[in-house]
Amino acid sequence: MKALKLFSIVMMGMAITLASCSGEDGKDGLPGEDGTNGTNGTNGTNGTDGADGADGAPGEDKPNVDFYFQQDFKGYQGTQDAMISDAHGDSNGETSVISYDGNNPGDERFTLMRFDGIFDELTTALVDPESGLTCDASFDVNQAILYIYISAHTTQGLDQLAIHLGFYNETDPLFDESSAIWEGPNQVTEWPGGVGGVSGEWVGPFPNEDSYSIAYQVITNSTNRPGWVAIPLPRSVVHEWICNEEANKGMRLGLSGHSENVAGIEFFSSENPVKDLRPVLVIETEKMDPASANKGSIGSSKKMSWEEMTYEEKMAPLYRFLSSK
C-alpha cells in the first residue's frame, strides 16, 4: 500500500516536471551562409534536324527587257520621218500622211520612218562579250510594235483600208528626213528601185515586196481623232536591225484599199509639239544565257498571235510606256 502511494507520488512529480518544461518556443536563429553552388549538369543531346521546307518557285533564267524609242524621250534623238509625194509635194512637218487615189495610180503619199541608235542601245544591254554568244544567239525578240497616233482620216466611201510597209535592205541608201524627196533619199541620190521611195530589194516576210500589211478599220469621213494604232513589225527584221547596224535603213509606210476609192490617214510625226503623241517603237526582248542558247524558248503557254489579241492586249506595251513617263 505504501509502495503504491510512493509510485503515485513519483508519477505525479514527473507529470509536474514535464508540464513545467513545455515553455514558449524560442526565436528563430540567424540564416546560415549560402552553400557552394553545385556543378553544372552536362548538356543534353541535340535534337534531330527538322524536315526541309518546300522548294521555292523557279527563278527567271531569261529576264525580259523592254526598250522604248520616242523622239525626246530620255534624250533620244534618233527618229527620222518624212512624207514624200509626187502630186502633193514632200514635207517634214508636224504631221505625216499616207494616202492613195484609186483613180490616179502614182498619186500616193508615203511616209519614210527610221529609228536610229537601236544597234548601240540593245547590243550594249543584251550582248555579253564574255558569254561566248553571238549577237543573234544572245536574245530573242518577243515582240516589236510601232505605235502611231492618227489625227485624221478621209475616205470617199466605206472601205477596208490596209497600212502596208516595205523594209529597206542594208544596201539601200540612208534617207535624210530633211531632204528626202519623191525622186531620191536626198537631193542628190536616186532611189535604187525607182521614184516613190522604192527599195532596190525589199526585205522581210515577203522578199522584194512591200505587201506586209495590217488592216485598218472600215472608216468614213470624220473630224474625230481615231487615236493610237498599233502596227506589229516582223521580229526577224527588227532582230537584224539590232545585230547589224547597216541593216537598219528604215521602212516605208503606205495605204491601200478599194481600187476606185480615195483615202488618206494623217498621223503625228516626230516633230509634233505634242511630244507624248509622237511615234513610239517598242521592242520586247528575252535575254538568253549560254546554257539555254540554241535550245529554243520554253514557256508555260503558247503565245497568242497578233490576230488573237484583244485591243487592250495590243495596246498594253504602249500603256506601260506612257505610265512610266
**3-state DSSP of 123-163:** HHHHCCHHHCCCHHHHEEEEEEEEEEEEEEEEECCCEEEEE
d(CA 156, CA 62): 50
Query: Residue 209 class from Cβ within 10 Å (0-12 exposed, 13-18 middle, 19+ buried)?
Result: middle
pLDDT, position 92 = 93
pLDDT, position 106 = 82
Query: String of b and e for 46-85 (b: at least 16 CB within 10 Å)?
Result: eeeeeeeeeeeeeeeebeeeebbbbbebeebebbbbbbbb
pLDDT, position 10 = 38
d(CA 187, CA 179): 6
pTM score over 0.85 = no
pLDDT, position 4 = 41
d(CA 256, CA 160): 9
pLDDT, position 160 = 83
Instruction: Give the angle subtended at the CA of 166 by the CAs of 227 and 313, to the nearest 5°.
Output: 40
d(CA 166, CA 149): 20
Per-residue pLDDT of the chain (325 residues; tens, 9 = 90+): 444 444 444 344 443 333 333 445 555 555 556 656 656 656 656 667 666 656 555 544 558 899 999 999 999 999 999 999 998 889 999 999 999 998 888 889 999 999 999 999 999 999 998 888 999 999 999 999 999 999 998 887 777 889 999 999 999 999 999 999 999 999 999 999 999 999 999 999 999 999 999 998 766 665 566 899 999 999 999 999 999 999 999 999 999 988 788 899 999 999 999 999 999 999 999 988 766 555 544 443 456 788 889 989 999 999 999 998 7
What are the cell numbers at 2? Answer: 505504501
Query: String of b and e for 93-114 (b: at least 16 CB within 10 Å)?
Result: eebbbbbbbbeeeeebbbbbbb
pLDDT, position 58 = 54
